Amino acid sequence: MLYRLSLREIKMPRGMPEVIATKQKFYRVSNFPNVIGLIDGSHIPIAAPSLNEDIYVNRKNFHSLNIQAVCDANQIFLDFCNRYPGSTHDSFVWHNCTLYRRFQAGEFGGAHLLGDSGYPLEENLMTPFMQPGNHSKVNYNNSHKRTRVIVEQTFGLWK
C-alpha cells in the first residue's frame, strides 16, 4: 500500500501549468530561474548484506544505499532512485535513473535541476562553479547555494 501511495504522491511536475508554478516557487527563493527541482544523494545505513558486501561500503566506510532524491521549493519529494549501493557515485545514479531519461527526452521543456558538485554540469542539471573567478560566477554560486540547501534540509527532515 505504501508503494502504491508513493507512486501517486511522489511525482515531478506534470504539464506546463505545474512546471511553471514550480519554477515560480524556486525563483522566489533566490532569483534562480527555470528550476523545477533540487537533486542530491544521501547514504542510508543498512546492515551488511551477505552478497557483494564490499559494494555497499560508502566513502565514509559504512554500509549504505545511495538514495537519490529530488525535491521542490516546499521540501516535498518529487522523485526517488533507491536501487544503488553505497559505493555508487551520485553521477552514476543520475545517469542511470528514469528521471534522467525523462529530462533527455525533453519532458520538462528545458527546465533544469540544481545539484551539488557531485553531479556533472549538463543542460538540465546546473552545478556550482568550482573556482568562481568573477562577480557573476560568485553571484551564481550564492544563488545556487541558497536554493539548493533546501534539498539538504529536506533529507534532514526525512532522516
Identify the three-state secondary structure at position 83: strand
Paired residues of 44 in beta bridges: 65
pLDDT of residue 2: 41
Of 56, 19, 48, 50, nearest to 35 (Cα)? Answer: 19
**Largest Cα span, the chain:** 52
Say whether pLDDT at 159 is over 80.
no
Of 117, 134, 135, nearest to 126 (Cα)? Answer: 117
Contact 88, 118 (CB under 8 A): no
Say whether pLDDT at 84 is over 80.
yes
Displacement of CA 146 from its chain's centroid (Å): 15
Say whether pLDDT at 157 is over 90.
no
pLDDT of residue 3: 47
Domain count, the chain: 1
pLDDT digits (tens, 9 = 90+) for 96-134: 999 999 999 999 988 999 999 999 999 999 999 999 889
pLDDT of residue 8: 63
The per-residue b/e assignment along 12-33, b for 16 or more CB within 10 angstroms, e otherwise, is bbeeeeebeebbeebeebbebe
Average pLDDT score over residue span 62-66: 95
| pLDDT higher at 69 or 158 | 69
- CA 13 to CA 144: how far, in whole Å? 21
**Residues above pLDDT 90, as percent of the chain:** 78
pTM here? 0.90
pLDDT of residue 58: 93
Domain that holds residue 75: 2-158
pLDDT of residue 14: 86
Displacement of CA 141 from its chain's centroid (Å): 17
Cell numbers linked to 116: 551539488
- Place 6 in a pLDDT band, splitting at 50, 70 and 90: low
pLDDT of residue 7: 58
**Residues above pLDDT 70, as percent of the chain:** 94
Cell numbers linked to 108: 520538462
Say whether pLDDT at 38 is over 60.
yes
Mean pLDDT of the chain: 91
